[in-house]
Structure 1
């Protein structure tokens, strides 16, 4: 592995993060590295709302999009992640492909904190819209998206289910938050 690639800067200073047992702990956010892929895959596997992808999927995502993704770390242990990217065809859009927390950290306020940590640097570099695909039945994610929109002074919109092939018992929607403002980053 590249020595420069192994240097992982903290993307933001530690923030209080309330875990499910009601205790505030400190969480750091940093860019993911390839050695995080197994941990990211395990966190995804513990989520009831996202599909666990292959190790190769996470490795490719981390390799190609480490500058637009992040890992939430408590001490040295990853406890959550956001995998996001910005397409060269639409650089003003920040698209979150997956995000999750370990179950013991998973609360609406914690999800919003995690997502905001990923969104802020993207807004500072020109993103003006956030796009997230989520299950319509996931009230905690919707509450987190509402918090992110409120923090940004933006509007949360949802679009119809994401097309054919989505099982009727797990409909998904595309959620958009915008316009995102650097004033709130």
Structure 2
């Protein structure tokens, strides 16, 4: 009997408490997919009530085993996975399952893992090296100069022309963009 089986036996059969895959993952320090598989193996070996998460592209349902087939029939491409296990004879209560996951927030061991960072939960993290900031490029020293010139257009009206000049200190080139406005 491995540690996972012993934990599930103690928690479900002796303490009469529900265990979700998330709780098992946190308590045993395993990946959530491994926790779901462990719950499935335990459900096959022991007499417990199984609660499934059934999902398709747009919907997710958490249902007891008694409603599994009808829920899968409603979905066109439904998939199932073991969500939680609870003692036999316990009625399905979604609020109770929420309390199981909510209890993780107040668990001191879980809080210590959470403060240690994602690496404590088995997440792969990239080792970032501390780099000095890049020196500013020569294009960052560009300066805009706006000039307003009064000219006459082809009809003889006086118009103002805004000329935007961008000067760059690294090069001697100057770009001019003209905007026309009627006075």
Name whichever structure is richer in helix by fraction.
2
Q: Which has the larger radius of gyration?
A: 2
- Check whether TM > 0.5: no
